[in-house]
Amino acid sequence: MANGLDDIVAADTVLSDVDGAGGHLTIRGHSLAELTGHWRYGQVIRLLFDGFFDELPGDRELEKAIGNARVEVFERLRPALDQLAPLDIYSAMRAGMALLPDGDELADALRLIAAPAVLTPALLRLTRGEKPLPADARADHAADMLRMLGGVASPALAKALDTYLVTVCDHGLNASTFATRVVASTQAGLTSAILAGLGALKGPLHGGAPGPVIEMLDAIEASGDAAAWLRDEIARGERIMGFGHRIYRVRDPRADVLKAVVRQLGARKEMNNRKTGSRLAFAETVEQAALEVLRVAKPQRSIQTNVEFFTALLLEAAGFPKEAFSNVFAAGRVAGWIAHAREQQATGRLIRPQSRYVGPVPDLVA
């Protein structure tokens, strides 16, 4: 069956490499561990964009330009926000981004970087009956996103969110990046390409998993028996959210990075005001139960924890409601999408595979 394109190499890229057997992620020559906690998201954007835009400024200048883009996007899209807010928060963000110019210049790219970080908190505030807060051009990207949500940004949460954005900035030829490259290959503009990526990211098999992880944790907490709950899910043919991956046969390295970040946040009240005490300790118990249930239920497949399990805990601790988790994923992945779009455009080659016809044949005898 050709439907999942398993093991098909569809692009040469200098951007990132996913080693599924070894459990390593390389981003432009750097291991994930080298980047997370050491590089700011703005620096990683520069790393990804290098060579794909003329006259790319240095790190600090680029971060300032991203700040200016946040202000510009807020002002440009503010009049549309009241109409977008009644939609689900992901569709509202995507619709807002569709209103941006569809060019291929750095300014177009920076508006697309800025948009999820500006639209997500603004839309969340409107749905809570609060006035959206304008962007602050001088602030750090992650800190500004948190400030626009809650009015303040604790340095610990801003650092945690920045590490999250770096962790998810790019990941080989995943479904949304492939979708982005297909549209970019037609030489459509960056906004068109990024809208394709946004569409693909929404689904629960890709970027839509962390919201359901929270629902799963809450349901297990209510049931009181993690293993029994998980076994029932599998028996019903359901997938356990936050586990399994098309490429990784070992633990997703991003899960460990995010688990360490969540551990550092462990003492915060957001993590501890639950029936079961520490949210993290409870989640770790569920993780162990899930790995064991999956090992027994699917012995033919090595199913391990993926990035989404600890994403859910991190974004919950940062104050985002589960409905907005995929928006925050998009705020990180948009950098990788743009770099891939530019890399694909530069090849000048249209992506146009073939399908195998397995339908009925016409009756040739009249």
| Site for ligand CMC, rule CB under 6 A | 171, 174, 204-207, 209, 234, 239-246, 298, 301, 303, 306-308
Q: Which is nearer to ligand CMC, 53 or 309 (CB)?
A: 309
Count CB-CB contacts under 10 A for residue 142: 27
H or E, element range at 26: strand 24-27
Q: Which is nearer to ligand CMC, 251 or 298 (CB)?
A: 298
First to last CA, the chain: 33
Q: In whole angstroms, how close is the CB of 281 to ligand CMC at the nearest point?
A: 21
171, 245, 287, 316: the catalytic one is: 245
Residue 129 CB partners (closer than 8 Å, separation 6+): none
Q: Which is nearer to ligand CMC, 133 or 297 (CB)?
A: 297
Q: Which is nearer to ligand CMC, 125 or 340 (CB)?
A: 340
Q: In whole angstroms, how close is the CB of 17 to ligand CMC at the nearest point?
A: 14
Tell me the residue number closest to ligand CMC, measured at CB. 244
Q: In whole angstroms, how close is the CB of 8 to ligand CMC at the nearest point?
A: 13
Q: How distant is the alpha carbon of residue 185 from its chain centre?
A: 22
Q: Which is nearer to ligand CMC, 20 or 150 (CB)?
A: 20
Q: In whole angstroms, how close is the CB of 82 to ligand CMC at the nearest point?
A: 32
- Residue 345 is which amino acid? Q
- Residue 334 is which amino acid? V
72, 233, 287, 308: the catalytic one is: 308
The Cα 221–Cα 208 span in angstroms is 21
| Strands 30-31 and 16-19, sheet pairing | unpaired
Q: In whole angstroms, how close is the CB of 230 to ligand CMC at the nearest point?
A: 9
Question: Helices 141-150 and 59-84: crossing angle, nearest 10°?
Answer: 30
Residue 54 CB partners (closer than 8 Å, separation 6+): 106
The sign of the dihedral angle between the CA atoms of 341, 346, 347, 353 is positive
> Is 141 annotated as catalytic?
no
CA atoms within 13 A on the CB side of 143: 15
Residue 164 CB partners (closer than 8 Å, separation 6+): 142, 258, 261, 311, 314, 315, 318, 328, 332
Cβ-contact 328, 120 below 8 angstroms: yes
Q: In whole angstroms, how close is the CB of 168 to ligand CMC at the nearest point?
A: 8
> Is 245 annotated as catalytic?
yes
Q: Which is nearer to ligand CMC, 163 or 306 (CB)?
A: 306
Count CB-CB contacts under 10 A for residue 313: 28
Q: Catalytic residues, which ones?
A: 245, 308
